[in-house]
Amino acid sequence: MKKKKKEFLALLCKINDPQEMDLFLQDILTISEYEDVVIRLQITKMLKAGISQRKIAKELGVAIATVTRGSNMLKESKNV
């Protein structure tokens, strides 16, 4: 599995054009998966900016549990 993951990441790194990346992501993800990734990135960005979890949930129209998961991810991750 690690080899396949490395190949996938190498492929992503080769895509420098935002439009090309958008098309690629649309090809490999469902609409829902793509939207979820975008929301997760927004949650992370807003948490890092110090915005409260409740305000994030309200602004993005997601459950507070979704924002809490993002918060927990930030606490556990060294890369985000």
9 found inside a domain: no
pLDDT confidence band for 74 (50 / 70 / 90): confident
Q: Does residue 31 form part of some domain?
A: yes
Query: Could you give the C-alpha distances from 25 to 17, 28, 34, 50, 61, in angstroms and in order?
Result: 12, 5, 7, 29, 23
Q: Is residue 47 part of a domain?
A: yes
Q: For the domain that residue 72 is a member of, what is the CATH number?
A: 1.10.1270.10
Give yes or no for residue 78 having a pLDDT over 70.
Answer: no
Please state the pTM of the whole predicted model: 0.79
Q: Determine the pLDDT at residue 63.
A: 96
Q: What is the pLDDT of residues 5-50, one digit of tens each?
A: 999 999 999 999 999 999 999 999 999 999 999 999 999 999 999 9
**Domains in the chain: how many in total?**
1
The residue ranking higher by pLDDT, 73 or 4, is 4
Cβ neighbours, 10 Å, residue 31: 8
